[in-house]
Amino acid sequence: MPALTDDEVRRRVLDAADQLFYARGVQAVGMDALRAEAGVPLKRLYQVFGSKEAVVEQVLTRRQRMWNDLVDAALASGGTPRDKLLAIYDGLAQWATDDDFRGCLFINTFGELGGTTPRVAEFVRAQKAEFQQRVAALVAEAGGSATLAAQLAILAEGVQTTTAIAGDNAAAAHARSAAEVLIGSALTSTTDHWADPTIGG
């Protein structure tokens, strides 16, 4: 049987790590467990990755692509910026119906390693900041403020954690309703501000 290439080892290990980290948590899964699940010799695992922290970082890199794909699909289903913002919560509701849903791997990993592994903590913060920037761009396009963008991003993050704990996806519907109220109120206030001749110069 031919030896596995580095790319094959990487794919097998990352597939196994993604599944095990998401189901059990990062700290509960050792390199031996990854080796066994991936069917890769431990020596080859270390040759390709070097350390467990490197495995964690590459799993999170893959998860970031998955998250971006989820957001892209949600945004593609909306028309106006407002529709796109609300579609994010629809996408979260759909994701939460997956049988293996355990919330956000970034949040879960930060909870486990954020205080002891600075590189992982920095990676998670960067992922969250990127999502917040995407929301902020849509809010700005809709005529809303940075405050509204922060509120909507926090709602989306809360959906993932609450759904994982509750075991159902009711939180996504509640968050969507709250987002509708926030968006409606904020955009109405903005319109009224510019329409009121007594405000401004």
Question: What is the per-residue pLDDT for 194?
Answer: 37
Picking from 121, 119, 99, 111, the residue whose alpha carbon sits closest to that of residue 167 is 99
Question: What is the per-residue pLDDT for 168?
Answer: 84
pLDDT means per 10 residues, the chain with 201 residues, are 88 98 97 97 96 96 96 93 95 91 96 93 96 96 95 96 90 95 83 43 41
Question: What is the per-residue pLDDT for 2?
Answer: 74
Q: How far apart are CA 87 and CA 90, in angstroms?
A: 5
Count Cβ atoms within 10 A of the Cβ of residue 25 and give its class: 0-12 exposed, 13-18 middle, 19 or more buried: middle
Q: How far apart are CA 179 and CA 83, in angstroms?
A: 11
Note the maximum CA span of the chain.
81
Spell out the domains of the chain, with CATH numbers in brackets: 1-50 (1.10.10), 62-195 (1.10.357.10)
Which positions ≥6 away from 19 have C-beta within 8 Å? Answer: 37
**pTM for this model (two decimals):** 0.87
Question: What is the per-residue pLDDT for 196?
Answer: 43
- Residue 143: left (phi > 0), alpha (psi -120 to 50), or beta? left
Q: How far apart are CA 148 and CA 179, in angstroms?
A: 9
